[in-house]
Chain A
Amino acid sequence: DTAVSQTPKYLVTQMGNDKSIKCEQNLGHDTMYWYKQDSKKFLKIMFSYNNKELIINETVPNRFSPKSPDKAHLNLHINSLELGDSAVYFCASSQSGLSTDTQYFGPGTRLTVL
């Protein structure tokens, strides 16, 4: 009964391919996030959804497109993958998206673009 789960855990692919990462939370939270952690372990927010509505959209290439079919799921689709997309991608969720809320993170998806 993992709180925030992501699939796949590892993803190795060629440049130019399109891939998706899936995230699900069973905490009943309203808000979900995608973060990118680079090779230096720096963590940057990419997107945030509240009740299926996009509320944070950082400066991210438009090759990255999040999709939230319902409030328990937030998927990340990446088109035309580039070498620089190699990173660990973390999904997270919080109760309601309030600034006081704690975020709960998934285990991460390690994407390697060759």
Chain B
Amino acid sequence: AQSVAQPEDQVNVAEGNPLTVKCTYSVSGNPYLFWYVQYPNRGLQFLLKYITGDNLVKGSYGFEAEFNKSQTSFHLKKPSALVSDSALYFCAVKTNTNAGKSTFGDGTTLTVKP
């Protein structure tokens, strides 16, 4: 069975500071990892994904994430947070088994204060 853990329900940072939203996963086989963002009353939007290759993945809006196989983690980072980054962030994992089903974490609410 595959699973994703986002250990923090809430992350608070000050504008201009770096931010990290944590994600760990558990799968059999090779993981494909995704980050999505959900703004209030909107659908999820894709930020970035790791499929293979370089462990550091760059995505939309200045976000990046680092795949760490030994720690089974895929933390989302941004060097300088903006107030407009405040949203709900979801990590998701898929594998080549399981009919391509996505398993989502429970989400982390990021609040960036001015």
Contact = CB atoms under 8 A, between A and B. Distances in A.
B51 A107 contact: no
Contacts of B100: 31, 48, 55-56, 97-99, 101
A110 to B, nearest CB: 8
Contacts, number: 61
B102 interface: yes
Contacts of A34: none
22 contacts: A4-B43, A31-B100, A40-B106, A41-B106, A43-B107, A45-B101, A48-B99, A48-B100, A56-B101, A92-B44, A97-B99, A98-B100, A99-B32, A99-B94, A99-B95, A100-B51, A102-B49, A103-B34, A103-B36, A103-B44, A105-B44, A107-B43
Interface of B: 32, 34, 36, 38, 41-46, 49, 51, 88, 90, 94-96, 99-102, 104, 106-107
